[in-house]
Amino acid sequence: MAVLPQLPLWGLWVALLSAAVLTLGFVATGIHGFSAGEFTVDQELSRTHDGFLTAVAMTLNYVFSPAGGVAIIALCALFLLIVRKSPVNAIAFGGTAAAGYLSSQFFKAIVERQRPNPALLFDPLAPETGSNSFPSGHVALAVGLAWAFWFLARNTRWSRLAVILGVLVPVVLAWSRLYIGVHYPSDVIASFLASSAAVLLFVGVWNRFQGRLLPRMPLLDRFGPVRPDAAPAAHS
């Protein structure tokens, strides 16, 4: 992971994806009746709760919570650092996943969309309130982790599995946030865009500066010198 796959004109992609997130957020909060129309999806899902689906949704709710996300990222990074003795991979993995999650906090502070009213659900499973609905932090975390695992697994026999799970897990998690009733559909859609924008930004910065910064980090000396890498090439 010393050099990560990088899109041509990555800065433009970051700007376009971020603009799409902000546009969707301001439309959702600025157009009267937009949220009410979306909320019907949450209400219909709330009518059909059953034991198994509820168990799946609530498990995902806790696993991909902020605390759970920190634990996942930290454990994976420590595994790469201590077991695999790969500090570069540990830093790149942690940075990629964290960037995906932190994107949600950035856009939440700008858009400030109120969460769906749990009192209007037929079966509220995890009542939440506040102006932090857009976008979903849970989904943004899952997307960031998906990118991080794919970067780690690419060019290995695990690459295809990383792609499959990297699509499946965030999609199922997005469904679970609507099933529980704590987000609107546009919240979870925006999470895919926001997290991907942050990952592309991280990749661009990482590829630009890692060759200068990593050799200066004292921690890396314990695992041997960092080999110089060629300048990153653009990948489609």
* Digitized pLDDT (tens) for each residue of the chain, 236 residues in all: 788 999 999 999 999 999 999 999 999 999 999 999 999 999 999 999 999 999 999 999 999 999 999 999 999 999 999 999 999 999 999 999 999 999 999 999 999 999 999 999 999 999 888 999 999 999 999 999 999 999 999 999 999 999 999 999 999 999 999 999 999 999 999 999 999 999 999 999 999 988 777 665 555 545 544 444 444 444 43
pTM for the full predicted model: 0.90
Q: What residues are paired with 234 via a beta bridge?
A: 6
As a whole number of Å, the end-to-end CA separation of the chain is 17
Domain ranges of the chain: 10-210
Using CA atoms, how far residue 86 sits from 81, 93, 215, 226, in Å, is 5, 11, 13, 10
Q: What is the pLDDT of residue 2?
A: 80
